[in-house]
Structure 1
Amino acid sequence: MEAVQLFPEGDCGLLAVCGERIDDRVGDRVTALDVAIRAARLPGVVETVPAFASLLVRYDPLLTDYDTLAAAVEPLTARTRVHRRLGGRVVTIPVCYGGDYGPDLAFVAQHAGLTEGEVIRRHTAPRYRIYMLGFLPGFPYLGGLDPALFTPRLQNPRTAIPAGSVGIGGQQTGVYPVVSPGGWQLIGRTPLRLFAPDRPLPYAAGDRIRFVPITAARFAELAQKEGTV
């Protein structure tokens, strides 16, 4: 596997490119380097931001500079050359599929040539890796969607998607943690409050998400507890 490449990113960032594709092996390299840099507590580092195939390291330019940081990070990249799956949490997210909760489930089923029940079964089968968070606070970009469920985005995006909506966009699936415009096909919704400014997210990049189907009655019960009614 190719060596990790380091590049300056603006005036206070270092970008470590670990590969050129989206897969578990490259994702493991990103995660391993992220863990190594945070454990090293390098002077001036403000935060690390993992993505599909790269890691952004933000630093305080008053405390360090790119050359100094790159010299410290370069030896740590060697640790990503050994392929090993790093342990991450498995976060369970209950989802009520179809109906008002997933208005595009029928279209996804039609596009795939499957029944709605089979779409749900296939969607809940994997444990999806969280490659990165972005677009919205806490929006997880997930890998591992069954290719049979790949579905094109809406031609005309919605202006407001309910918080908790689970959608499919092209080759990916994800959850909208807050109300937002969006063009993904909505197949369900979770009653959980995934994002709140006063508490940490229930997941992070490198964790895995498992979707579990629930009934509308169970959705209402959990939504009452979560305050997401």
Structure 2
Amino acid sequence: MSPRLRRCGDSAVLVELDGVEEVLALYEALAADPPPGVTDLLPAAGTLLVRFDGPRRREPVESAILRARPAAGRRATSGEVTVPVVYDGADLADVAALTGLSEREVVQAHTGTPWTVAFSGFTPGFGYLVGGDPRLRVPRRTESRVRVPAGAVALAAGYSAVYPRESPGGWRLIGRTPLSVWDLAADPPALLRPGMRVRFTETTPGTATGTMPGTATGTMPETATGTMPETATEIQTEVAPGRGEVRHG
């Protein structure tokens, strides 16, 4: 089905698509070859917001969107990041039971296939990752936790994610990483950006470090993710330190 275009004021158009895969494909096509005048691309689960620099650009931009032919397959348009993970999350056993895999097979499935950041939401720096092993599709918890620690690695509804800060959350926790995925002192502040490829690697407590030029190194703490009190509310709290290794291209 063709994209549906809805005008948003004088300098943006909202492109409605059939699903997140179509959104990511169009995002990657436009990011690789932006139409003249486009200033920002904001993907979501079923839409792509395209911003441009004034009304005179509207018709050329809309025409370029309709002419775009997203390529089959997926490429990293914003670089690649490797995320070291200690797989000791509080919900690892539940994920194994829900998928019919052993806990070791869950870890192998999570690390065995690269993921791609489709879009960001919920809280700054929270990237929704798609394209992993389809066996890891599990539902959210029936009740959210009051606190999920920064760096928690989780699964829900076909997505994976790294919690950028301590916050409530209802995803299933399978591990933890020392990397910060949101840092206001960094440029850009989000480590995981739409179009970026993400590779998870297994590590052990006390040995996982993440480095990026010009930033501090994060070391994995010895504490476990643990089980938290429950609530259905999801809000945000504080930012955590540490950044990760990023490879561009």
TM range (shorter): 0.7 to 0.9
- The equivalent residue for 2:247 is none
Q: Indicate if the aligned counterparts of 2:36 and 2:61 stay in contact, CA closer than 8 A.
A: no
- The equivalent residue for 2:199 is 210
Residues 175-218 of structure 1, C-alpha deviations (whole Å, 9 max, x = no match)? 11111110001000111122111102333211111000000121
SS in 1 for 2:62: helix
Residue identity (%): 35
Q: Aligned equivalents of 1:12 and 1:196: distance in 2?
A: 29
Q: Measure how far apart 1:144 and its partner are.
A: 1.8
- The equivalent residue for 2:15 is 16
- The equivalent residue for 2:240 is none
**Of 115, 123, 131, which aligns to 1:128?**
115
- Normalising by the residue count of structure 2, what TM-score does the alignment of the two structures yield? 0.75
**Of 85, 90, 95, which aligns to 1:108?**
95
- The equivalent residue for 2:230 is none
- The equivalent residue for 2:165 is 178
Alpha-carbon spacing, 1:148–1:82, altered in 2? closer, same or farther (3 Å)? closer
Q: Indicate if the aligned counterparts of 1:14 and 1:58 stay in contact, CA closer than 8 A.
A: yes
Write the letter of the residue equivalent to 1:91: V
More helix by share: 1
The RMSD of aligned alpha carbons is: 2.6
- The equivalent residue for 2:234 is none
Residues 19-76 of structure 1, C-alpha deviations (whole Å, 9 max, x = no match)? 30232x5522222124444x6235xx4x3212344321245xxx734xx443121232
Q: Indicate if the aligned counterparts of 1:30 and 1:54 stay in contact, CA closer than 8 A.
A: no
Gaps of 5+ in 2: 222-249
Alpha-carbon spacing, 1:7–1:180, altered in 2? closer, same or farther (3 Å)? same
Q: Indicate if the aligned counterparts of 1:29 and 1:80 stay in contact, CA closer than 8 A.
A: yes
Write the letter of the residue equivalent to 1:208: R
- The equivalent residue for 2:231 is none
Q: Aligned equivalents of 2:136 and 2:76: distance in 1?
A: 27
Alpha-carbon spacing, 1:196–1:112, altered in 2? closer, same or farther (3 Å)? same
- The equivalent residue for 1:7 is 6
- The equivalent residue for 1:41 is 37
SS in 2 for 1:73: helix
Q: Aligned equivalents of 2:155 and 2:76: distance in 1?
A: 26
Q: Any runs of at least 4 consecutive aligned residues in structure 1 with deviations exceeding 6 A, and if so which? A: none
Q: Aligned equivalents of 1:115 and 1:216: distance in 2?
A: 21
Write the letter of the residue equivalent to 2:120: L
Alpha-carbon spacing, 1:48–1:147, altered in 2? closer, same or farther (3 Å)? closer
Does the alignment pair 1:158 with 2:145?
yes
- The equivalent residue for 2:71 is 83
Aligned residue pairs total 213
Write the letter of the residue equivalent to 2:65: T
Q: Aligned equivalents of 1:147 and 1:117: distance in 2?
A: 16
Write the letter of the residue equivalent to 2:6: F
SS in 2 for 1:27: helix
Q: Measure how far apart 1:222 and its partner are.
A: 5.5
Q: Measure how far apart 1:10 and its partner are.
A: 5.7
SS in 2 for 1:97: coil
Q: Aligned equivalents of 1:87 and 1:29: distance in 2?
A: 13
Q: Aligned equivalents of 1:82 and 1:141: distance in 2?
A: 20
Q: Aligned equivalents of 1:207 and 1:20: distance in 2?
A: 21
Q: Aligned equivalents of 1:35 and 1:134: distance in 2?
A: 22
Q: Measure how far apart 1:227 and its partner are.
A: 7.0
Between 7-16 and 117-126, the greater mean CA deviation after superposition: 7-16
